[in-house]
Structure 1
Amino acid sequence: MARKSLVGVVADELLDRIVAGEFPPGTVVPGELELSAKHEVSRMTVREAMKTLEAQRILSVERGRGTFVNPLNRWASLEAVLRAASEGKNDAAAAVQLIELRRMLETGACELAASRVSPEEIDQLQVHVSAMQKAHDSNDVSAFVEADLGFHDVILHASGNVFVAVLFEPLHRVLETRRTQTSQIPDIQRHAIGHHRAILKALEAGDAPRAREAMDAHMQQTLDDLRTYVLEA
């Protein structure tokens, strides 16, 4: 893998500080002189790093006032948004919007999969549901998350639409982080197992409308659980 340029390293470190909440949206980031001393680089390097973040709409420059951090919904870098969603502090909006995105894509993927899923893929789904139940019974959160993600991954590929799986690939890290957070709660695990079984039954029956409804119900339960057990806790 190619090494990052010094400009890239500084831009990355500054983004880390933004994601960590050191510079919340609407605040002014330090000037070039302070940042160059902090990162032990030239002011020119800092200037180029800030231009990089400005091009990604993470920062905006207001003449005579300074350089400000933009709200997350204005960022134009998928990688940066995913970092904020997986590593950021108290970003409830990002958590909710991630489920909204999943709902839009996964309900359609599940509907397509109902008529395209293979017997081997049905077997894989059954294995994942069984693994979720076993992990729930033994309080193994890591194994539960792995089986949960595996179940959804099978459906995405079973949809037969190559774009769906490719679109979801960059989301894997943030999905794993979020699932690990929510799956600490036994009630959420129980809800997920029940909905996964309903989805599996619809796919086994080859019932496309029912499969879509089952996945949609799962997404709604996921959203309700997030709000009840995590965001309002």
Structure 2
Amino acid sequence: MTKSLADRISRLLLEKIGQGAYGIGDELPSEGQLAEEYDVSRLTIRESIKALASRGVIEVRHGKRNRVAPAEQWDLLDADLMKLRGSLRGESQNLIEQLTEVRHILEIGAAELAAQRISSQQLALMREQLEIMIAAESVESEPDIPRAVEADISFHRIIIDAASNEYLSATYRPLEEVLQAVRLKTSATRKVRREAIAWHTEILNRLEQRDTEGSREAMRSHMTQTLGAVREETS
């Protein structure tokens, strides 16, 4: 039995939950039935269930069949489970707005910390990402939106890294993953892209000056603009 096989079964079970085959509170088939359905050993099923239980998705009940746990018990910082919770509740748009609000809070504080701790190398990398965003927008035909979004994400990730707080990084990582698709949608508008470039330029200038208050306020303005774009996209 390999861990990758158990992981694959875990993903398949999550897909079943997402499709509604197993609803919240529903009992799962027995280990034997699941082993037969997926043509794997009971040990593999047991490891898969154990992994899902550690993420809060499955309630293991000794002497009884395991069942799908209430969504409130799921690991809130698990990117896959964030998406699944939103789809199950029919609240994907609300989820996106909530996660963007969290990003708003985190990145303002991160910018303030980064102004105190960022290295010259990190500033140079941020300048490179900003130049990529500008170049992607300057393409004569169609703007290279995926390339611009990738550079945008890298720009913000450098700020998070520069804050040098591992708990901040751990909290931010799943938000970044879930919201990537949203950033592609909101960046489809030229006005949003140009505003983003302007705010990225201001943020970088403030960080280069080691201006903690200026960095914080520039990020606050940018995150307010971002939240507005998300609300407009999801309304």
TM range (shorter): 0.7 to 0.9
Displacement of 1:215 in angstroms is 1.0
Larger deviation, residues 130-139 vs 28-37 = 28-37
Displacement of 1:52 in angstroms is 3.7
Matching residue of 1:70: 70
Q: 1:150 to 1:11 in 2, by over 3 A?
A: closer
**Match of residue 186, structure 1, among 181, 190, 198:** 190
Q: Which blocks of at least 5 consecutive residues in structure 2 are unaligned? A: none
Instruction: Determine if the alignment matches structure 1 residue 196 to structure 2 residue 195.
Output: no
Q: Which blocks of at least 5 consecutive residues in structure 1 are unaligned? A: none
Matching residue of 2:101: 100
* Alignment of structure 1 residues 9-48 onto 2, 5 Å: 9-18=8-17, 20-23=18-21, 26=24, 28=26, 30-32=28-30, 35-41=34-40, 46=45
Displacement of 1:114 in angstroms is 2.0
Q: Distance in 1 between matches of 2:81 and 2:38?
A: 21
**Match of residue 152, structure 1, among 133, 151, 156:** 156
One-letter code aligned to 1:217: S
One-letter code aligned to 1:111: E
Displacement of 1:135 in angstroms is 1.2
Matching residue of 1:128: 129
Instruction: Determine if the alignment matches structure 1 residue 142 to structure 2 residue 146.
Output: yes
Does the Cα contact within 8 Å between 1:109 and 1:155 map onto a contact in 2? yes
- Superimposed CA distance per residue, residues 90-133 of structure 1 (whole angstroms, 9 cap, x where no aligned partner): 62343233323323332122112223334444343333222212
Displacement of 1:82 in angstroms is 0.5
One-letter code aligned to 1:110: A
Displacement of 1:195 in angstroms is 1.9
Identity %: 32
Matching residue of 1:226: 230
3-state SS of paired residue (1:174) = helix
Matching residue of 1:82: 79
Does the Cα contact within 8 Å between 1:24 and 1:69 map onto a contact in 2? no
Displacement of 1:216 in angstroms is 1.8
Q: 1:86 to 1:65 in 2, by over 3 A?
A: closer
Q: Distance in 2 between matches of 1:120 and 1:7?
A: 41
Q: Distance in 2 between matches of 1:74 and 1:96?
A: 21
Displacement of 1:182 in angstroms is 3.2
Displacement of 1:144 in angstroms is 0.4
Displacement of 1:7 in angstroms is 4.1
Displacement of 1:210 in angstroms is 1.8
- Superimposed CA distance per residue, residues 10-66 of structure 1 (whole angstroms, 9 cap, x where no aligned partner): 223212333x44458636365237644432345675465335423422134789997
Q: 1:84 to 1:190 in 2, by over 3 A?
A: farther
Q: Distance in 1 between matches of 2:76 and 2:70?
A: 12
Q: Distance in 2 between matches of 1:181 and 1:17?
A: 28
One-letter code aligned to 2:227: L
- Superimposed CA distance per residue, residues 138-188 of structure 1 (whole angstroms, 9 cap, x where no aligned partner): 311221012112211232233344554465456554354443343333333
One-letter code aligned to 1:70: P
Matching residue of 1:111: 112
Alpha-carbon RMSD: 3.5
Displacement of 1:68 in angstroms is 3.1
Does the Cα contact within 8 Å between 1:128 and 1:150 map onto a contact in 2? yes
One-letter code aligned to 2:24: G
